[in-house]
Chain A
Amino acid sequence: MPAYTLKRTFVAFLILIVVSGLTFSLSHLSADPALTIGGEQASEEDIQAIRKLYGFDRPIHVQYLDWLGRALSGDFGESYHYKQRVFDMVSERIGRTMLLGTLAILFALVVSIPLGTLAAMRPNSITDRIALFIAVLGQALPTFWFALMMIIVFGVWWRWLPISGHTQWANYVMPTIALGYYATPALMRLTRAGMIEVLASDYIRTARAKGLSPASVLFKHALRNAIIPVVALAAVWFGFMLGGSIVIETIFNLKGIGWLSYDALLRSDLPVVQAIVLIFASFYVVLTLLADLLNAYLDPRISVR
């Protein structure tokens, strides 16, 4: 297990380096930061001066290594637009995004695992059909539309919940549901498929032949095995919840880093964009790593291979 962990961590680190290199070069190719900083009225001489001042005239790999060196020590530079340190801007908002993402994935798991299990216990029954309907709906509804409908119903008509902001717990209810519901169908279907397969397996027949209680057969013997692929998928979806919160944070004016990245992209504020892309990429990489380790824990056969 320690060797396995070490190997996986090394691969994760390599992925981050590659991702950061790609983002850096792509964003510097797609937008000229000197133009952004100079603004529309800037003359050609001003632009040249800015290029020299910020070091944009150097070869791109030199700029990248310079940026990477400082990023590794936590210095992501300064926002071109807000003239604030990117590190401060991100750390002020990242907690909100993490909270929203965590709540959303928990919501998705709490809905999808019981629903998927229930559906698998009686395939093609009414329960199964209802679960499938809920899942298909979640997949078919665009997130932004679903979020707006919730705002109209719960925020405007019934006035139960606040429709924007991030200061109180109630602010997170609708964003969590809107974001989490999007992840529910995939997780539910995988739980259902896994449970149906596992329930037909020989070791479930053994468990029943041992006279174990239905709860023990279902939860101890079946769910544990069925849940292994769900864990991996949930980790990927968690990354998606964190990165995909851009739309939801914008709709609900919940100022996390999703909202910040949307704002930074509109302004070609490259240091902010780069920092956030790197953070989102790290989320994915770390989550995938954690999922692999959790899988290895749940399924003892994995770490041996």
Chain B
Amino acid sequence: MSGTILEVENLSVDIPVAAGMLHPVRGIGFSVSRGETLCIVGESGCGKSLTSLAIMGLLPKTARRNADRIEFLGRDIRNLREREMARLRGGSMSMIFQEPMTSLNPSYTIGNQLAEVYLRHVEQSRAAARDRAVFLLEKVGISSAASRLGQYPHQLSGGQRQRVMIAMALMCGPELIIADEPTTALDVTIQAQILHLLAELQREFRMGMILITHDLGIVARVADKVQVMYAGKTVEEGPCETVFDAPMHPYTQGLLRCIPIPGRTRRGERLGSVPGIVPNLVGELSGCLFRNRCDHARDACAGMRDDEPTRMGDGHAYTCLRAPGEISGELQAAEAP
């Protein structure tokens, strides 16, 4: 597709640790097109943040990245040198982090930190950088933007700082924006505002966006495509509506039971949970890793090949031994009153 910005195939990240080799990301793939929002969902430790850092080339030094393909704007970026990678970062791909309180340098003014990216990637004009900064601060909803340029991060609230981080990510007009749990550290009321803002800006500037989150409520509101990760693997992916209407993987179903759905969840009804914890990802792993937490686990799960998903058409796919008929029958039964 001509609008494709990023294509990733079979990406894995390995980190040597004392106990052996840790495999936090084990062969995942996805693509993002212009104007499209991909949500990567999963619980803590499933490898979603490392996936985004791997794309940005910001993995810790000890981590090793492998991929069959990482193509950004039609260009293979797997073997780019650090210098060339730095040209892309902050320029045509930028990132918003989870912790707005600590992600800005306390020693420099907002204006300085905003202008810096622009001066690095676009042009050496302080005036132009300043104008762009004011324009974007207004865009992200910061009042009296011009006078904010001289303020330091500690003079702003968490929500304002995250707005500044968003403005910073947009300074050079990126094609791709990766937001790693951008609302997790914020108050619930602010969360909705920030999310709404991100979705709006993404539509306005026609950027591709990867939104990383553990909150399916967020996904439902903004995603075009969903990718559910478990233990470093994609267990289910597909268009947002399809996945929400007919989740095929037991893990996705479990996650969906955790959130209240208007009109479907009755008042006073207990929400579900997914019991158990993510398995240890050190050493050789085989079979379906969700099997020890799964209600439908059977003997064959231990020998399952997790690199051959069951494809359902229109991009919906899941990695589970259960046949589509078996699952959809169950879903219908559950929905009946």
Report Cα–Cα, A133/B150, bound state, in Å: 44
- The residue in A202, A211, A216, A301 that gathers the most chain B C-beta atoms within 10 A of its C-beta is A211
| Interface check B44, CB cutoff 8 A | no
Stretch at the interface among B96-104, B222-230, B251-259, B324-332: B96-104
Binary contact track B78-110/A, C-beta < 8 Å → 1, others 0:
000010011111110011010100111111100
Assuming the contacts A201-B102, A225-B107, asked whether A211 and B87 have C-beta atoms less than 8 A apart, the reply is yes
Q: Once the chains bind, are A212 and B86 in contact (CB under 8 Å)?
A: yes
**Whole-angstrom distance between the alpha carbons of A216 and B115 in the complex?**
14
Question: Cα distance A221–B120 when bound, in Å?
Answer: 15
User: Is there an interface contact between A300 and B106, defined as CB atoms closer than 8 Å?
Assistant: yes
Say yes or no: is B152 at the interface (Cβ < 8 Å to chain A).
yes
Are A210 and B90 closer than 8 Å at their CB atoms? yes
- B97 and A202: CB pair below 8 A? yes
Residues of B within 8 A of A300 (CB): 106-107, 152, 154
CA distance A98 to B62 in the complex (A): 48
Q: Given A202-B97, A301-B152, does the pair A212, B90 have CB atoms closer than 8 Å?
A: yes
What chain B residues lie within 8 Å of A13 (beta carbons)?
Answer: none
Task: Give every chain A residue within 8 A of B95 (Cβ-Cβ).
Answer: 209
In angstroms, Cα B155 to Cα A304, docked, is 10
A228 to chain B, nearest CB (A): 8
The answer to whether A202 and B154 have CB atoms under 8 Å apart is: no
A211 and B58 in contact (CB under 8 A), knowing A221-B105, A301-B152? no
**Does A57 make an interface contact (CB < 8 A)?**
no
Q: Are B105 and A225 interface neighbours, CB within 8 A? A: yes
Asked whether, in the complex, the Cβ of A208 is within 8 Å of the Cβ of B89, the reply is: yes
The CA of A300 and the CA of B87, in the complex, are separated in Å by 31
Q: List 7 A-B contacts (CB under 8 A).
A: A206-B105, A210-B116, A211-B90, A213-B86, A221-B105, A225-B107, A300-B154
Q: Please list the residues of chain B having a beta carbon within 8 angstroms of any beta carbon in chain A.
A: 56, 58, 82, 85-91, 94-95, 97, 99, 102-108, 116-117, 120-121, 152, 154, 165, 168
Q: Which residues of A are at the interface with B, using a C-beta cutoff of 8 A? A: 201-203, 205-214, 216, 220-221, 224-225, 298-301, 304
